A = this chain, B = another copy of it.
Amino acid sequence: MSRELKNLLYEHVARVGKALSSPKRLELLELLAQGEKTVEVLANEAAIDMKLASAHLRVLKESRLVEARRDGRFIAYRLSGDDVAALWANLHTVATEHLVELRMALNTIVAEPERLTAETRLSLLNKASQGDVVVLDVRPEAEYQSAHLPHARSIPLPELKRRLAELPKDKEIVAYCRGPFCLMSNEAADLLRKRGYKVSKISDGVAEWAAAGLPVEISD
């Protein structure tokens, strides 16, 4: 008697799983984890047709992972909650942990599969608050405004070359961007390293950072 009701429960959860079963939707979700964005922006950044982006966003909306809001002629989407960003972080962590193919694919892109531990994160937070390291956010400024790591400084990747003067040569610099699948911080680190800066990169984005239970800052 309760079997059909139980099946109903699993079916509802499976709706969320289904929303997470398409690469494009995951990419959109990661972009939305950086902050609210319009369909046009999302389509551009994910390099897909706007109609297709709209269709995928509809699925995400029906599974209640994202919410939409009309802003003039634009429609802006955002995650339904911080727990959705945490779910995304959890999902790609499990995938990276267990899927050998994913780890190999990651290795062909960046020779750095190491994940941050609770200690490295805390020590970074500590050093950042004391000014011992410069935490560098290389995402677009709007995403920095939406949320960023504590004490982080914003220099979007395209502006980095002409804003080098803002960075100290004697301090350690730690660059980050959208998360483990984002290459902006790699490019930034390569650029800075060539110019003689002491720079490293971390794979965390704000979603991963928050999912680890650490605080993020929001620019008013």
Measured CB to CB, the residues of A under 8 A from B are 2-3, 5-27, 47, 63-65, 80-81, 83-84, 86-87, 90-95, 97-102, 105-106, 108-109, 181, 183
Contacts and interface: CB of A to CB of B under 8 A. Distances in A.
B87 A90 contact: yes
Given A2-B109, A21-B20, A86-B90, A9 B181 contact: yes
Contact of A6 (B13, B22, B183): B183
A91 B97 CA distance: 17
A99 B12 contact: yes
A6 B181 contact: yes
A16 B84 contact: no
B7 A14 contact: no
A23 B27 contact: no
A109 to B, nearest CB: 5
Contacts of A13: 23, 26, 91-92, 95, 102
B9 A102 contact: yes
A64 B95 CA distance: 8
Chain A's interface: helix, strand, loop or mixed, by majority?
helix
A183 B2 contact: yes
A16 B105 contact: no
Contact of A27 (B10, B98, B100): B10
A121 B16 CA distance: 26
Contact of A9 (B12, B64, B91, B106): B106
Nearest to A105: B8
Among A20, A86, A106, the most chain B Cβ lie within 10 Å of the Cβ of: A20
Contact of A14 (B2, B6, B26): B26
Given A9-B102, A17-B91, A26-B10, A97 B83 contact: yes
A10 B83 CA distance: 20
Contacts of A22: 14, 17
A63 B99 contact: yes
A64 B98 contact: yes
A96 to B, nearest CB: 8
A95 B99 CA distance: 24
Contacts of A9: 102, 105-106, 109, 181
